[in-house]
Structure 1
Amino acid sequence: MTAPLPTTPLTPAERRVAQHVVLGLSAREIAAATQLSPNTTHSYLRVVRGSCAAPNAAPWRSSPTA
């Protein structure tokens, strides 16, 4: 049995961004919904990825699929 990876608690703002990711919103959609700049949104997504021990190459939906 392996030990679980340590996680870092998210700030309230990072948690809101993570909740939007769970809903399937793209980074651009999250920025608009949270009234954050795209750069801030991407920074929060990097933090969320690190907190969840997700690899950097994990696919986040970056644009709507049609």
Structure 2
Amino acid sequence: MASIGHPLLGDDVYSNAVSPYKLQGQTLHARVLGFIHPRTNQYIEFEAPLPEYFSHLLDILR
């Protein structure tokens, strides 16, 4: 993301900006990921809620 001018908040490797927020990781999350399994050819989907620190950050930024 940094290479296209959109660094991720909390990315210590590719972002040179210091975050004013106490983060526990990068602010990048996929709520749902799906793909066709390479062996079974069946579509598989996984869902994950936002981590608490991420939800809290969104509340602050709103």
TM-score normalised by the chain length of structure 2: 0.30
Larger radius of gyration: 2
Greater fraction of residues in helix: 1
TM-score normalised by the chain length of structure 1: 0.28
**Bigger relative contact order (CA 8 A; separation at least 6):** 1
